[in-house]
Structure 1
């Protein structure tokens, strides 16, 4: 693990008077250079990326929500840069997380769709990541929270042994994880390479087929559930909630859903405190607002939006706790904070938790069409905020930035050079992230839904082209459960005049559509856009 002990240390001069003048001058020069390196390292900011899960553009009050108040996220926005054109690169969790860490579009990788419970590590050792870049720059690095990028070799995770490769093999010094996502089994924590608190006398088994005919499921024991399912989430029951997939054993290692956020904050605060005297990078991967939505009891019933709104309140509390720790440790002005989401919102995502019934006038996607699973703006345009007290001046920016750009931008911030064959779609938008005047963001961005499904969109300036190779779209209307909506293969929208993407203008602007279609195909078929 990186520590202050790893940093260059001042040389100690024994007896300068006894040395030839040339040697003395050389030693003094080395000493000055050494001290300069130490100063440069100490001047580099800590970096915290807080990634919410399924949080929509309209889900926080600084972006227009009125049915719920998010004072801690609002405070970040008031003290930093609030982006109106902040994006993730995909509208589901695994591909966005892959792209954020690797700086490469997920459609270029293998098995980058929503990872199954027993999925192997998707990001392989030797891949340049945000974490490895910062680790090389002398940062202590940690990921705490939801992982959902697979663990272990080609055969998948060895739940009772060493979970390798994983985060520690791609640049993180330590990790404390929810290994998949909480609607998928197993409900255990992973600390570095091991399942935490696992009793070898009660081994953990995880599979995709029912282990025995009498194994309780959400179908056979539906009456026992404290949260009913609406589709798909009806296999193994844990904590009164049925999940995707099956598992047995590992009872001493299992957690309560209600305790997840508290555990992430506890572990993160400990990491921050342990590394307050050296530069650190923390990837705080929240599970809120993802299903099953089961916040701690102290948040339940606190909003008019049901459990989904209560989870947004819990997320806002997490942000406040982390910022409080930075203040208590005296390092708020030494820390760059990035707040973002892995994709847009979804209301019914498999559980009957009241999200649709209680939504009222709340617009989770803000003014935009679509949400999670969709390449409409609501699927990938999300809250994105940067704060660095004393360095970033409060402002609102309309520049286009994306979470995929963090690799290149953080490399520039810390003086790291990107390998030519890595981070192939990550652009340096550091000046935008720091709120500098006249800074320019991206001039184009490819968006996708999940894995390699043939559904893409290309935003280029005011124009946005949708491409549906299967002529089907998902989750066009977040407030309902719509699957496989028939659509034309190509659609063109003018975001300047129609940000909600309600009117397809491809017949009015065929030349623009053709140009963007060619550009999108070229980007997809090439190995890079950087």
Structure 2
């Protein structure tokens, strides 16, 4: 199998993207319940980032930011099909001779905005759906027998009774890798539907974690009020634990496949998540919550650290020295610009995301970087959050509640849990960051950036109306 590795010079790329996995949802990042030996091993062979972030605290905008290399101020799926080829990062891989694949949660549009329309050569289990109906076959039917709101394509036809969704998707990814090994370099994304709801572990995994929980004790209340709802205080959900551990098992399968094919040393592997874990509910009512992001504050939907800080590991055995970077500030929108830089030495102008190749190689440090988030589509009913804007500049983070016109300032180096608001004791830094944030908003919160999907949909409706009128005239 070593011949395969020698025959190909350009590195392969494998992105493993998890759904709703919080920063502390791995044993290597502090969990005492979730056992993740395979992901831990990958992390120890990687450059690990402790200051990595999603570009948004919810699924679709976060994924949009990653795929486009931009701040997702549109806060929806935008129109990927409208991106010019010279700024389409997937097509840059295609043009460089890579075979490209997207397996799993897409959630970013149809037609010219589905994976193949956007440029991927191969697509599997990728459609409109943001989650599966249930994790066991038949995946597109809920446990109550009702059909899921959106259908995950391919998986039901290729599976049988007893099959589990993450295993099926990993199998499809392995098949793709095996078919490409020794032919063309590949760039593949495996975007798990885990560990998003529904919370449903394999029966044996749930049983094992229930037993482990019997030996664990937790101090303090199970929930505390936060925003319009509650915040979960403990990692004690056996179903969620089993789902995390199943992802870990499948990461192990992927790593073993690369090793067996002799291409593990020349494959760049990126492991991350789309945002923080589901730890908060809202004013619509109490619901089952997945995890706790403590000591980080809040979770999915929020712009506190629990909602946006994510695990990020980048491995390239041939080129990168494993280490832990505790300073550089990295966002999801930086991933594809970095991969293009590493693989084909390609840089695209006009993106918000930047290549952190120098950071990976240890020749650069991004500790003084200034980055932004904006959330104007809060879901107080669902995750208890509010409309917020945030700027992080170096160690300092300014959190602004937009409707309430309230600001909070934190020094994340000293206070990662965002417990000590410095806005009153450090008015100079508060004023400095307020000005920086306002200037960014003036540049970015503009119709051409915010209304991409709205404008595209209006154009489509107009075309449909015109087409219907022409058809009526002919009749």
Residue 430 to residue 419, structure 1, CA distance change in 2 (3 Å): closer
Q: Secondary structure at the match of 2:50?
A: strand
CA shift, 1:144, in A, is 0.3
State the partner residue of 2:382. Answer: none
Separation (CA, whole Å) in 2 of partners of 1:302 and 1:181 = 30
Aligned equivalent of 2:354: 427
Aligned to 1:322: 254
Q: Distance in 1 between matches of 2:367 and 2:146?
A: 43
When the two structures are superposed, what TM-score results if normalisation uses the length of structure 2?
A: 0.75
* Residues 1:450 and 1:505: Cα distance change in structure 2 (over 3 Å): same
- CA RMSD, 1 decimal: 3.4
What residue number does 2:330 align with? 401
Query: Which of the two has higher C-alpha Rg?
Result: 1
Q: Which residue of 2 aligns with 1:375?
A: 303
1:88-487 → structure 2 map (5 Å cutoff) = 88-107=54-73, 109=74, 112-113=75-76, 122-124=80-82, 126=84, 128-152=87-111, 164-183=112-131, 238-240=142-144, 245=149, 259-277=164-182, 278-303=184-209, 304=213, 305-347=237-279, 355=289, 364-398=292-326, 399-421=328-350, 424-434=351-361, 436-440=362-366, 443-449=369-375, 454-471=387-404
Aligned in 2, Cα 1:326/1:366: closer, same or farther, shift over 3 Å? farther
Question: What is the CA-CA distance between 1:438 and the residue it aligns to?
Answer: 4.7
Offset of residue 445 of structure 1 = 1.6
Give per-residue Cα distances to partners, 1:389-425, cap 9 Å, x unaligned: 232222111121122101221222134544434xx21
Distance 1:287 1:149 in 2: 14
What is the CA distance between 1:451 and its match in structure 2? 5.6
**1:122: how far off?**
5.0
Q: CA deviation at 1:170?
A: 1.8
Are 1:373 and 1:450, in contact at CA under 8 Å, matched by a contact in 2?
A: no
Residue 455 of structure 1: how far off its partner (Å): 2.2
The 1:185–1:522 alpha-carbon spacing in structure 2 relative to 1, beyond 3 Å, is farther
Distance 1:290 1:525 in 2: 34
- Residues 241 and 451 of structure 1: is their aligned pair in 2 closer, same or farther, counting only changes over 3 Å? farther
Following superposition of structure 1 onto structure 2, how do residues 10-29 of structure 1 map, counting pairs within 5 Å? none
**8 Å contact from structure 1 (residues 56, 343) kept in 2:** yes
Q: Please tell me whether the aligned partners of residues 106 and 128 of structure 2 are also in contact (alpha carbons under 8 angstroms).
A: yes
Query: How far apart are 1:514 and its partner, in Å?
Result: 1.9
Give 1 or 2: higher helix fraction.
2
1:137–1:416 Cα contact (<8 Å) kept: no
Structure 2: gaps of 5 or more residues: 1-5, 214-236, 379-385, 446-475
Q: Residue deviations 1:428-472, cap 9 Å, x none?
A: 2112234x255446612212447698522111001101122223x
> 2:276–2:300: 8 Å Cα contact kept in structure 1?
yes
What count of residue pairs does the alignment treat as equivalent? Answer: 398
Distance of 2:134 and 2:25 partners within structure 1: 29
Q: Does the 8 Å contact 1:130/1:410 carry over to 2? A: no
Counterpart-to-counterpart distance in 2, 1:62 and 1:441: 22
Deviation at 1:288, TM superposition (A): 1.0
Report the CA distance between 1:289 and its aligned residue.
Answer: 0.7
User: Relative to structure 1, is the Cα distance of residues 165 and 84 closer, same or farther in structure 2, using a 3 angstrom cutoff?
Assistant: closer
Given the two structures, how large is their TM-score scaled by the length of structure 1?
Answer: 0.68
Query: Does the 8 Å contact 2:81/2:117 carry over to 1?
Result: no
Q: Which residue number in structure 2 is paired with residue 62 of structure 1?
A: 28
Q: Partner of 1:272: helix, strand, or coil?
A: helix
What residue ranges of structure 1 are gaps of 5+ in the alignment?
1-38, 153-163, 190-196, 198-235, 472-487
